[in-house]
Amino acid sequence: KLTTRKIRSFKAEKTKTSLQVLTCYDFQTAQMLNETQLDMILVGDSLGNVVLGYDTTVEVSLEEMAIFGAAVKRGAPNKFVIVDMPFGSYSTFNKAIENATKIYQQTKAEALKLEGAFPHQLEIITRLTQSGIPVMGHIGLTPQSVHQQGGYYTHGKTDADKERLLKEAKDLEAAGCFSLVLECVTEEIANLITKEISIPTIGIGAGNGTDGQVLVINDLLKMGPGKYPNFCKPIANFYDLKLELVSKYIQDKKIPQGIDNADLHH
Catalytic residues: 183
What does the DSSP 8-state code read for residue 179?
E
* Of 44 and 75, CB closest to Na ion: 44
The answer to whether 115 is annotated as binding is yes
181 binds, among Na ion, ligand KIV, none (CB under 5 to 8 A by kind): ligand KIV
Choose, by CB under 6 A, the member of 44, 86, 176, 203 that binds ligand KIV: 44
From the list 40-48, 67-75, 96-104, 256-264, the region that binds ligand KIV by CB under 6 A is 40-48
Choose, by CB under 6 A, the member of 39, 64, 84, 110 that binds ligand KIV: 84
What are the helix (H) ranges across the chain?
Answer: 4-13, 27-34, 47-50, 62-75, 93-107, 119-130, 146-149, 159-175, 187-196, 217-220, 238-253, 261-264
The answer to whether 84 is annotated as binding is yes
What does the alpha-carbon distance between residue 24 and residue 216 come to, in Å, rounded to a whole number? 8
Q: b/e for 70-103, b at 16 or more Cβ within 10 A?
A: bbbbebbeebbbbbbbbbebbeeeeebbebbeeb
* Of 188 and 231, CB closest to Na ion: 231
**Per CB under 6 A, does 89 bind ligand KIV?**
no
183 binds, among ligand KIV, Na ion, none (CB under 5 to 8 A by kind): ligand KIV
**Per CB under 6 A, does 216 bind ligand KIV?**
yes
What does the alpha-carbon distance between residue 213 and residue 215 come to, in Å, rounded to a whole number? 7
* Of 39 and 84, CB closest to ligand KIV: 84
The answer to whether 45 is annotated as binding is yes
* Of 55 and 256, CB closest to ligand KIV: 55
Q: Which residues bind Na ion (CB under 5 A)?
A: 44-45, 84
**Per CB under 6 A, does 172 bind ligand KIV?**
no
From the list 41-49, 125-133, 159-167, 248-256, the region that binds ligand KIV by CB under 6 A is 41-49
In terms of Cα–Cα distance, which of 127, 87, 110 is closest to 21?
Answer: 110
The answer to whether 171 is annotated as binding is no
From the list 2-10, 12-20, 44-52, 145-153, the region that binds ligand KIV by CB under 6 A is 44-52
* Of 96 and 136, CB closest to ligand KIV: 136
What does the alpha-carbon distance between residue 79 and residue 109 come to, in Å, rounded to a whole number? 9
What does the alpha-carbon distance between residue 71 and residue 108 come to, in Å, rounded to a whole number? 10
Q: 20 pairs with which residues across the strands?
A: 213
Q: How near is the Cβ of 149 to ligand KIV at its closest, in Å?
A: 14
The answer to whether 39 is annotated as binding is no
> Which H or E element spans position 80?
strand 80-84
Neighbours of 207 (CB within 10 A): 17
Dihedral class, residue 105 (left if φ above 0, else alpha if ψ from -120 to 50, else beta): alpha
Contact residues toward ligand KIV (CB under 6 A) are: 23, 42, 44-46, 84, 181, 183, 204, 214, 216
Per the annotation, binding residues for 3-methyl-2-oxobutanoate are: 45-46, 84, 113
